[in-house]
Amino acid sequence: MSSRFDGKVALVSGGGVGIGFATAKQLIAEGATVFVTSRTVEQLRAAEAALGPKLIGVRADAGSKEDIEALIEQITSTTGKLDILFANAAAASYQTLGEITEEALDRQLGVNIKGLIFLVQAALPLMVDGGSIIMTSSLAAQQGVPAASVYAATKAAMRSFARTWALELADRKIRVNVVTSGPIASEGFKSGEMDDSFKAFIDDAVRRSPARRIGEPFEMANTVTFLASDAASFINGADIPVDGGLGQI
């Protein structure tokens, strides 16, 4: 395994399982020290046991400004810098129009937009010049997905954030990119509160996809780690699909 991330420090939000865990695993295998957040302490302890001392688990709610600030304080006191920020934590609630609750709306906006903004803002003083920020979006932001209108809208916002922040951070040479996920067989995807119409949409998506399958977390991690590396030094403000071709047909 290469050591392209030797001496690098990364933060992966929502990294206890699935895409976040797979990305943390790859970053650590290539030399990085990785802070991982989750709301679930058991997930963090399991991740630490699996990946060893270079993974530092921090319990944090991605929608809580106070938790985010405490997280950044811990990183400051431990490593004093960040090279890579992978904003992967998300909240999803599948409700059709007419059934959307205030609680579900607030949670998704709070984590996927408010929490994302506060995380990036809080991390910026620690980010090294030339660092990389990567955000997980979803194919739902580009295609109509039954019962996912709020979630899709929050993910679509990331595309705008990447364009604007890439310009705002240009003087510091901090790159900002989005990775758009198709259906991925992560724990979060499997445990989503999906109604029958959404399940039918996924089944149809697999049938239509050139890949004819759901993706695996490591396939997202491959793209994220590429974008975090110097090999992607001229990729900025972009939206990279990891969707088996589903969004391209």
* Span 41-78, pLDDT tens digits: 999 999 999 999 999 999 999 999 999 999 999 999 99
This prediction has a pTM of 0.93
**What is the largest distance, in Å, between two alpha-carbon atoms of the chain?**
51
Q: What pairs with residue 127 in β-bridges?
A: 82
- Mean pLDDT within 168-184: 96
Phi (first) and psi of residue 143, to 5 degrees: -130, 150
Model confidence band, residue 192 (pLDDT cutoffs 50, 70, 90) = low
Model confidence band, residue 186 (pLDDT cutoffs 50, 70, 90) = confident
Amino acid at 117: I
pLDDT value of position 99? 95
- Mean pLDDT within 85-97: 94
Domain ranges of the chain: 9-242
Dihedral of the alpha carbons of 60, 63, 66, 68, in degrees to the nearest 10: 60
> Regarding beta strands 127-138 and 175-181, do their DSSP bridges make them parallel or antiparallel, or are they unpaired?
parallel
Nearest Cα to Cα of residue 60 among 113, 119, 134, 20: 119
pLDDT value of position 194? 55
231 Cα distance to chain centroid = 20
* Integer Cα distance of 228 and 3 in angstroms: 13
Catalytic residue numbers, as ranges? 151
Q: Which CATH fold topology does 9-242 show?
A: Rossmann fold (3.40.50)
- Reply yes or no on whether the pLDDT at 187 is more than 80: no
> What would the two tokens of residue 206 be?
């697999």
* Span 104-145, pLDDT tens digits: 999 999 999 999 999 999 999 999 999 999 999 999 888 878
Direct distance between the N- and C-terminal alpha carbons of the chain, in angstroms, rounded to an integer: 35
> What would the two tokens of residue 171 be?
């003087």
Contact indicator for 183, 205 with CB cutoff of 8 Å: yes
The dihedral through the CA atoms of 168, 92, 61, 84 has a sign that is negative
* Residue % of the chain over a pLDDT of 90: 81
Q: Is 243 exposed, middle or buried (0-12, 13-18, 19+ CB in 10 A)?
A: buried
Model confidence band, residue 231 (pLDDT cutoffs 50, 70, 90) = very high
